[in-house]
Structure 1
Amino acid sequence: MAAAVLAACGGADETGGDEAGEAEAEEDRPEYTVATDTNYVPFEFLNTETGEMEGFDIDLIHAIADRVGFDINLETVEFDGIVSGMGTGRYDIGIAGMTITEERAENFDFSDPYYDAGLILAVRADEEEIQSVDDVDGRPVATRAATTSYDYLEENTDAQIQTFPDIVNAYQDLTAGRVDAVIYDLPNVLYYIETEALGDMKTVGDTLTGEQYGIAFPSGSELTEQVNEALAEMMEDGSYGDIYEEWFGERPSNEE
C-alpha cells in the first residue's frame, strides 16, 4: 500500500510537471503581427455574423503558425497598405492573395508560392462588343488599386482605368453600368459571379498572365525559411489540400 501511495504521488507530480511544462511552452511562443486583406473572398473576408475573419489564407496561416510554433495577432489592412507596410517592416507577415512580382521582391521577401492564379476580364452579362482585353481601349475599366491588375491595364491597354480600394465596389459599378469591364484575379472574379452577381456578370477572353501568390515577410526575416518548411510539409501530407478543398470545392490540381 505504501508503495502504491508513493507511486500515485509520484504520478501526480509528474503529470503536474508535464502540464506546467506545456503551459510554459505556450507562454514562450512568440506572437507575430499578420497583416491581411479586409475583403478578398474566398481568401480572406469578415464573417459579419461571427465578427471573425475567415477564408483560405486565414486557415492556411493559422495551420502554418501551429506547425512553426507561434501565435498570430491578425491585423486587417487595405491591400495597398499591406504592400507598403511589408516594405517598411511594419508587419511580421503578410498574407492577402499577394502576387509574387520582381518589384515587390525588391522591397520584401516572399515564401515559396502557395497558389497559382491569373487575371481575367469580366463584363456585364449582356455585353457583346467586349470579347477580350483587346476590346477595352478607350473604355472605362475598373480594378483594385496597387494590384497587378492595375499594372496590366496600364502596361497593355489604353483603357480609362478606374481604381477602387475594395474590388466589390468595382463589380458593383460594372453591374450598375458605370464602367464597361473589370479586370482582377481569376478566383475572386469567379467566386463573385457564382455567389453575388447572379447572372449579371460573365468572364470573357483568356486568363491573362501566369501568377502565383506568396506569403510576405520583411527582408531578411528568419520566418521565411520556417514557413517554407511548414508549407512544404503541408503540401506533402495533404493538409494543404484539405484546406484548399474546403474553400475551392476540389483538391489542388498539382496534388499527387
Structure 2
Amino acid sequence: MNLKRITAVVGAFTLITSLFIAGCGSNTTNNDKVWRVGTDATYAPFGFKEKNTGKLDGFDIDIITAIAKEEGAEVDIQNLNFDALLPALQSNTLDIAISDMTISEERAKSVDFSNPYYIAGSGLVVNTDNTNITSFKDLEGKRIGVSIGSTGAEIAGKIPNADVRQFNLIIDAFLELQNRGVDVVINDTPVNEFYVANKGRGIAKVVGEDYDAAPLGIAVKKGNTELLDKINSGLAKIKENGKYREIYKKWFGKEPPVEQ
C-alpha cells in the first residue's frame, strides 16, 4: 500500500470517527432535553389514568408539559406512589415531581420547590348518611383515612386519639370509607370534590371548611437550581401568555384566582 493510499484510509477513518463522536454528542444533548417527571396518577383532577387508553392526564400533567414546551424540553412522565416521589428525586431516578404536592418545611429539607402553581386547602369526605362529622373539630377519636406521606396524613397526626389509617393510594382510602372501614378521609379539597362528583357520586360528600390553604409546588432534587430556574421561567411564561388560565379552566371550570 503506497503512502497516498495510507493517507486516504487514515483520513476516512478519522472522518467516520468524528461523525460517530458528533452523533453521540447530539444524542446526549437530546436526552438532556427530556425531563423525567414523576406523579401519582390517583389524584384526579391533578393526575389520573384515562379509563380507555391508560394515558396519564390531568391538571398537573398539562401544567408540566406546557412548562417544558416553553423551555424547549419534553417530558417523560412516570406513575409512582406518592410516598415514592421524593426518594426518586433524591436517587436521581426522577428529575421532577409534580403531584398535588403541598410546599412544606419538612419536604423542603430534602427537595427544592418551584414557585407555587396552585393553592389548595385540605377538606373532609364522609359517607352521605354521616351526620356526626361536619368539621375538623369532630375528628377526635375517629377512624381517619389518608394517603401515606400526604398533607392529610400530617393533619391527621395532630388529632387527639384519632385512629389514623394510611393507604398507598388515596382511592384506597375512599374505598375504605365506602366500606365503612374509616369514618372520614382527609385529603386536598379539589381531589375530594372531583371524587364526590364522579366515582363517589351518591356515596360520599364533602363537609366542613377547608383546613389552612397552602401552595402546591413542583419539586426537584435539592440543589438542582438550573432545572428549578427553568421550571420557574416556564411557569411565569404560561401565566403570562394565557396557557395557565386555559389549563386551569379546563380542569376546574372556573377562572384562576387573581395573584396578589
TM-score range, shorter chain: 0.7 to 0.9
Written as runs of structure 1 = structure 2, the 5 A alignment for 1:64-83 is: 64-83=67-86
**What's the counterpart of residue 122 of structure 1?**
125
AA aligned to 1:228 is N
Report the CA distance between 1:255 and its aligned residue: 6.3
Report the CA distance between 1:237 and its aligned residue: 1.8
Written as runs of structure 1 = structure 2, the 5 A alignment for 1:166-205 is: 166-205=169-208
Aligned match for 2:252, one of 248, 251, 254? 248
**What's the counterpart of residue 89 of structure 1?**
92
Distance 1:76 1:68, change over 3 A: same
**What's the counterpart of residue 112 of structure 1?**
115
Q: Give 3-state SS (helix, strand or coil) of 2:122's partner.
A: strand
**What's the counterpart of residue 152 of structure 2?**
149
**What's the counterpart of residue 14 of structure 2?**
none
Q: Distance in 2 between matches of 1:131 and 1:51?
A: 36
| Contact preservation (8 Å) 1:37, 1:78 | yes
Q: Give 3-state SS (helix, strand or coil) of 2:99's partner.
A: coil
Report the CA distance between 1:158 and its aligned residue: 2.4
| Contact preservation (8 Å) 1:241, 1:255 | no
**What's the counterpart of residue 3 of structure 2?**
none
| Contact preservation (8 Å) 1:34, 1:75 | yes
Q: Distance in 1 between matches of 2:87 and 2:248?
A: 28
Q: Give 3-state SS (helix, strand or coil) of 1:155's partner.
A: coil
Q: Distance in 2 between matches of 1:203 and 1:30?
A: 42
Q: Distance in 2 between matches of 1:174 and 1:128?
A: 14
**What's the counterpart of residue 21 of structure 1?**
none
**What's the counterpart of residue 228 of structure 1?**
232
Q: Distance in 2 between matches of 1:158 and 1:86?
A: 34
**What's the counterpart of residue 238 of structure 1?**
242
**What's the counterpart of residue 163 of structure 1?**
166
**What's the counterpart of residue 101 of structure 1?**
104
AA aligned to 1:185 is D
Distance 1:159 1:114, change over 3 A: same
For structure 2, the 5+ residue unaligned runs are: 1-25
AA aligned to 2:91 is T
AA aligned to 1:49 is N
Q: Distance in 1 between matches of 2:230 and 2:94?
A: 17
Aligned match for 1:56, one of 59, 72, 75? 59
- TM-score under structure 1 length normalisation: 0.86
Q: Distance in 2 between matches of 1:73 and 1:130?
A: 42
Q: Give the fraction of aligned pairs with identical amino acids, expressed as a percent.
A: 35
- CA deviation vs aligned residue, 1:44-87 (integer Å, no higher than 9, x gap): 11113122111111111111111101122221110000022223
Runs of 4+ in 1 over 3 A off after TM superposition: none
Report the CA distance between 1:145 and its aligned residue: 0.8
